[in-house]
Structure 1
């Protein structure tokens, strides 16, 4: 009897392990036979100033006016203080920013996704944005309320990227054979990637609403799985020196690490001058970042930027 029970338990354990492996392989070993073209993963860099200066002044002005980014912020009702800080700070620099939540919070004019599941919220937000704004915006930026973004740097980074190509970029992370963009640093999709994602949202075999059979994977990994089926692959965004511009940590943490690891080169060892995002910020830190990035000025110093990105009409941004 004991022998039979032992055999039964071993069978259950082996069966569970087998199912887990199948689930993992199902999420990771996909997409290679379904590539729509050769837009493979690589490290993408921001344009350098010399390239921008080759563009005529009239063309640069036209670019600065026409380049628009739609911002998606995924929030939870309990994050009210973060929500307020994001609304009062960097999202003013988006050409349009909307908040997506599990509830309708009138004071923030949130869009109710009617779910607490972050993957369901993300896919519903992407579908909403595509259905409503596909003819107005070519770039879609998604972030959490703990993220601070410098939208002008994002626009500069994207300047020479063609949105009719399937871009999916940010801070890439590798998990087994799956490479994905971490939501902690923010996720950027071109309109072409949005089209491909939207076409798969109604295909549960390729882009399921729920995760694996055994355990649930994070929403950013789920997104990568869906996009991989459409031939869209994660790309890491860097500056001309190879430094990440989408960051999953706060400035303070980067400086602390640089002081420990590179005490003689704290600035060089910290962050990119063209950083787009930092993550893990408190509401107070959001306002401090806003002060440092947009309000603090050195009197008499003129920045000779090759481009100027104008704020949206009617914006009260800094």
Structure 2
């Protein structure tokens, strides 16, 4: 082999080595990049399969922490710990005062004005076994808007709190419980309110509408209002579940009378109180609006909206058991058979939900009936 050829071969060796090195480096780089891409893809797919709060937590610690707290809150709800953060404002004799400080709408001056002008004491009939399943949700929703709220039960509970009437539980004793509660209120709180509403622990009351309706009524007149039933009592009587509200004079007459004019216990509570009111000269007032629509309702809003009434209701209801939106006043006051879920639904729909661009109507406080 010539010297020139040997030189060319020696010069080509570094070139071959360079190509090999470049090839290896390129191959290695490609493998690494491919592995990284596959790894990232795998991580992404895996993170999508994780609970949402974990993925959020990796990207944003603060948001992830908030979401975990929310999950924990839901877990507490499922375990029945719905009132763990409730601030119990306990007063003497097992009574409790509330004032809703949350301004939900742009202008609530009229409602706040009526809060001071038309004072309403709410009393709720409950039972020891219903405190944590029903009554607590009244406290946390509409009960906050009463000027004063008192829960009556067969047993005193200073923690919740409730006033014990020392009367046995059961439908056969609802009349005695109702009379006992009104007597207690008359003795201890007569001057602290203008009107006194009785309702059950599955009743929902829109206090602003109740004050609005009562703002044109005289509390010194012997009168009471509620969902009107036309049977049994000549002037009719008001459904106990829908709630009924007494004037000061009506409460005075009911509480001071212990004669045979009023049954002390037994019978159907609302009918017995209705008969008592009639015997005492207390008028069953008309609470319908100017279009003849009801304000107090002895069923939930869905039943009054679409129907499905029990057969007895067609005989009892003084307004003819109407249904649909034209049967319920725009200023409805009460609904009955409202479970806790529906109470919170009403809280949202009434006090939070609003259509953008539509202002609430400004009511005339000197109205007759709207």
Q: Same fold (TM over 0.5)?
A: yes
CA distance in 1 between counterparts of 2:361 and 2:305 reads 27
1:93 — aligned with what? 145
Segments of 5+ residues of structure 1 without an aligned counterpart are 1-57, 212-216, 259-265, 309-318
Taking the TM superposition and a 5 Å limit, the aligned residue runs for 1:185-196 are 185-196=242-253
Aligned: 1:302 with 2:364: no
Taking the TM superposition and a 5 Å limit, the aligned residue runs for 1:42-191 are 65-80=116-131, 81-115=133-167, 116=169, 117-178=173-234, 179-191=236-248
Tell me, what secondary structure is at the counterpart of 1:220? helix
Tell me, what secondary structure is at the counterpart of 2:287? strand
Tell me, what secondary structure is at the counterpart of 1:189? strand
Once the 2 structures are TM-superposed, how far is the Cα of residue 63 of structure 1 from its aligned partner?
5.2
Once the 2 structures are TM-superposed, how far is the Cα of residue 67 of structure 1 from its aligned partner?
1.6
2:262 — aligned with what? 207
CA distance in 2 between counterparts of 1:285 and 1:65 reads 28
**Contact 1:60/1:307 (8 A) holds in 2:** no
CA distance in 2 between counterparts of 1:302 and 1:90 reads 23
CA distance in 2 between counterparts of 1:221 and 1:274 reads 26
Cα deviation code 1:61-103 (max 9, x no counterpart): 8655322100010011222311111111001111111100011
CA distance in 2 between counterparts of 1:64 and 1:307 reads 16
Aligned: 1:249 with 2:321: no
C-alpha change, 1:149 and 1:63, in structure 2 (3 Å) is closer
CA distance in 2 between counterparts of 1:207 and 1:236 reads 23
Tell me, what secondary structure is at the counterpart of 2:218? coil
Once the 2 structures are TM-superposed, how far is the Cα of residue 268 of structure 1 from its aligned partner?
3.3
**Contact 2:224/2:246 (8 A) holds in 1:** yes
Once the 2 structures are TM-superposed, how far is the Cα of residue 226 of structure 1 from its aligned partner?
1.7
**Contact 1:236/1:244 (8 A) holds in 2:** no
C-alpha change, 1:62 and 1:295, in structure 2 (3 Å) is closer
CA distance in 2 between counterparts of 1:76 and 1:177 reads 28
**Contact 2:124/2:151 (8 A) holds in 1:** yes
Once the 2 structures are TM-superposed, how far is the Cα of residue 228 of structure 1 from its aligned partner?
1.7
**So what's the TM-score if we normalise by structure 1?**
0.69
2:281 — aligned with what? 231
CA distance in 2 between counterparts of 1:60 and 1:72 reads 21
Two-structure CA RMSD over aligned residues (Å): 2.4
Once the 2 structures are TM-superposed, how far is the Cα of residue 163 of structure 1 from its aligned partner?
0.6
CA distance in 2 between counterparts of 1:125 and 1:186 reads 14
**Contact 2:305/2:325 (8 A) holds in 1:** no
CA distance in 2 between counterparts of 1:103 and 1:236 reads 35
CA distance in 2 between counterparts of 1:252 and 1:59 reads 29
Aligned: 1:198 with 2:248: no
Larger radius of gyration: 2
